[in-house]
């Protein structure tokens, strides 16, 4: 397969120079690995690290389905009020952007949905918040796009089964920095001022199954926007990808947390995924008391830019 250690020689030189500036303060320190009781495992070649992750992602050749997940979520709303939910539910993921999580309290009916398709993403919650918030993937990260309780695009990244960023994402990388028991892959992006910013890191285990254990996404100021910790990697099905069955996500700036345990994962042929599964819900598909509070968080981004004319 083709490995993407850098996109051009100039970008490669930039990444090499940038590596010398990284410290444990900027990247954070890798989590302790209780399995490591002997000498640290030897470093691996960058091509081997990338190839191992991408080969595992390529095994996800059908939809990933779990009929049994448990989610604990903590959110802070726009008024500063904290909300904590503990739900059971189901997960269906079809790469690259199709995601559907249906959540309920125990044996009750569905009270929360998190979803994404190639164009849109959304979250609706019935208890306490009583509303639905949605936006378009193409507007993510723009100043005109407001924050949402759970960003499904970040949740997709945190699942860790979609492989590493593609060249189409306009990122420079990956380059590698050494940890003690982890290899750290990092990517840069070009900022609005033309400079380069650290965009994200992937902590890759040097122990089997040699997969991503930590993902860190940065904002334009270099702060941690999201960190995800992946654990309990197991095959999703025979000859299928190994998938993290325990996931913890933190949004430190919003004081948000999302943990998920997955059981009974298996594959579902794409042909057996019902049409409309990943459609963004319309008002008639929502609980009645949510229909008056449907908010497009990036509506301003859809407005045409003011036209200027020479006098």
d(CA 258, CA 154): 11
Give the range among 61-65, 80-84, 301-305 with minimum mean pLDDT: 301-305
Burial 259-276 (b: 16+ CB within 10 A, else e): bbbbeebebeeeeebeee
In this predicted structure, the answer to whether residue 12 has a pLDDT above a threshold of 90 is no
Q: What is the mean pLDDT of residues 276-291?
A: 93
DSSP output for 223-241:
-EEEEEEEEEEEESSTTS-
Burial 134-145 (b: 16+ CB within 10 A, else e): bbbeebbeeeeb
Percent of the chain whose pLDDT exceeds 70: 85
Query: Which pLDDT value is given to residue 2?
Result: 33
Cα 230 versus chain centre, distance: 11
Q: What is the mean pLDDT of residues 164-185?
A: 87
- Contact (Cβ atoms closer than 8 angstroms) between residue 267 and residue 236: yes
Task: Please report the domains of the chain, with CATH numbers, ordered by start residue.
Answer: 43-286 (2.50.20.10)
Q: From the CA atom positions of the chain, what is the Rg in Å?
A: 20
Query: Which pLDDT value is given to residue 305?
Result: 62
Instruction: Summarize pLDDT for 37-71 with one digit per residue, the tens.
Output: 568 788 899 999 999 999 999 999 999 999 999 99
Mean pLDDT of the chain: 85
In this predicted structure, the answer to whether residue 34 has a pLDDT above a threshold of 50 is no
In this predicted structure, the answer to whether residue 32 has a pLDDT above a threshold of 60 is no
DSSP lists the bridge partners of residue 134 as: 122, 296
- Greater confidence, 211 or 1? 211
State in Å, rounded, how far the first CA of the chain is from the last one: 56
Instruction: Summarize pLDDT for 192-214 with one digit per residue, the tens.
Output: 788 899 999 999 999 999 999 99
Instruction: Summarize pLDDT for 267-277 with one digit per residue, the tens.
Output: 999 999 999 99
In this predicted structure, the answer to whether residue 248 has a pLDDT above a threshold of 90 is yes
């Amino acid at each position: 397969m083709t490995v993407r250690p850098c996109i051009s020689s100039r970008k490669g030189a930039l990444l090499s120079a940038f590596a010398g500036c990284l410290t444990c303060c900027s990247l954070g320190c890798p989590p302790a690995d209780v399995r490591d009781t002997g000498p640290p495992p030897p470093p691996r070649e960058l091509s081997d690290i990338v190839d191992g992750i991408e080969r595992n992602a390529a095994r996800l050749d059908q939809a990933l389905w779990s009929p049994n997940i448990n989610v604990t979520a903590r959110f802070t709303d726009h008024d500063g009020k904290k909300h904590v939910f503990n739900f059971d539910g189901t997960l269906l993921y079809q790469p690259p952007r199709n995601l559907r999580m249906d959540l309920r309290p125990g044996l009750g009916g569905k009270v929360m949905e998190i979803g994404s398709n190639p164009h849109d993403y959304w979250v609706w919650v019935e208890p306490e918040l009583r509303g639905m918030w949605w936006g378009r993937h193409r507007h993510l990260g723009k100043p005109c796009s407001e924050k949402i309780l759970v960003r499904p695009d970040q949740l997709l990244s945190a699942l860790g089964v979609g492989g590493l960023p593609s060249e189409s994402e306009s990122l420079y990388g990956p380059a590698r920095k050494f940890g003690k028991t982890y290899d750290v892959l990092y990517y840069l992006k070009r900022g609005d001022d033309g400079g380069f910013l650290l965009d994200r890191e992937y902590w890759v285990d040097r122990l089997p199954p040699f997969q991503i254990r930590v993902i860190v996404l940065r904002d334009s100021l270099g702060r941690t926007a999201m960190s995800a910790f992946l654990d309990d990697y197991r095959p999703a099905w025979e000859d299928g990808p190994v998938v993290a069955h325990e996931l913890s996500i933190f949004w430190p700036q919003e004081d948000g947390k999302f943990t998920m345990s997955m059981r009974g994962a298996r594959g579902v042929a794409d042909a057996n995924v019902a049409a409309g599964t990943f459609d963004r819900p319309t008002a008639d598909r929502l609980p009645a008391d949510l229909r008056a509070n449907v908010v497009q968080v990036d509506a301003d981004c859809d407005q045409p830019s003011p036209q200027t004319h020479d006098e």
